[in-house]
Amino acid sequence: MTAIRSVALVTNPHSGHGRGLAAAAVATARFAERGVRVREIRGADAAETVRLVRDSLRGPERPDAVVCAGGDGLVCVTLQAIASTGVPLGLLPGGTGNDLARELGVPDDDPRAAADIVLGGCVRTIDLGAIESTPDPDHARGPMRFATVAGTGFDARVTLRANRMRRPKGSLRYSFAAVPELLGQLGVPYRIELSGEPGEAGDRVVETEAVMVAVGNTRTYGGGMLICPDAIVDDGLLDLTVVGAMSRLEMVRLLPALAAGKRIDHPAVGHYRARTITLTAAVPATADGDPAGVLPATFRAEPGALAILVP
């Protein structure tokens, strides 16, 4: 438990088509009722937001918590400044997916209740993932931390396309974005290097053809898609789901189950778990729904890197 007397409130006017700002307004009123000081942070872009959050953590007016009013993308930006500082993160879900909030039991449809979780001051320590990837000229982010899932291959291409689309709103946008990607190349050669597997003395290399490979700190992404069904957020490991080569028809049959949050049971789908994972393939990567460069990339678990306020 920690006493919450002041917060830095990070907002994004574009989160969830205004849902983030609406959540921030409700929470700000609730914080005022409880006498909590609020310093709003609204950067013009990701880099400025990271700088402003870092600045807020320096000096005598350091907040008791940093609170994100938005979705997983805004949380991802904030992680770059707050990870390993010991300052807890609070969630006011207002994005499209809100997968981290869902994983931790923070309601995504009641900002007042979410604000009360912040005020309750119950802190849990969870892991983060860290990705070092090849910079993409169009989407360069460099080394970054992520809280939920990093996607590569088909799912990363779908996410990047969905991020460029204005309509439809909500998670349905991902379904529309998937259609043109299904018409392109699906399976590509992957080299998967695993280090620190439970019960394994040495490293292992897997070479396979895959449609997509996801690296999960949590179980879901994209608004509840159960891509890493056995991931545990505080086990010091990352989960890996490999969707092997399959036909377009098989992918069309698989995607609705994934979108519905069902566990994928298919002979072409494999699961691994390790502390460090290196993926090599000619595909892009995303993390928490944000661009994360292109492969090759190395993913590392960072045990206990984030303090977060939970019910």
93 and 23 Cβ atoms separated by less than 8 Å: yes
Give the E-state strand segments of the chain in sequence order.
6-11, 37-41, 65-70, 89-93, 123-134, 144-146, 149-153, 188-195, 204-216, 220-221, 225-226, 238-244, 269-274, 276-280, 284-287, 290-309
Query: 72, 99, 288, 290: which is the annotated catalytic residue?
Result: 290
The answer to whether the Cα torsion of 220, 83, 65, 47 is positive or negative is negative
What HEC string does 214-283 produce?
Answer: EEECCCEECCCEECCCCCCCCCCCEEEEEEECCCHHHHHHHHHHHHCCCCCCCCCEEEEEECEEEEECCC
Q: Under DSSP, is residue 50 helix (H, G, I), strand (E, B) or coil?
A: helix
Whether 290 is a known active-site residue: answer yes
Give the span between the Cα atoms of 37 and 12, in whole angstroms: 19
Phi, psi dihedrals of residue 271, rounded to the nearest 5°:
-130, 140
Catalytic residue positions, numbered: 290
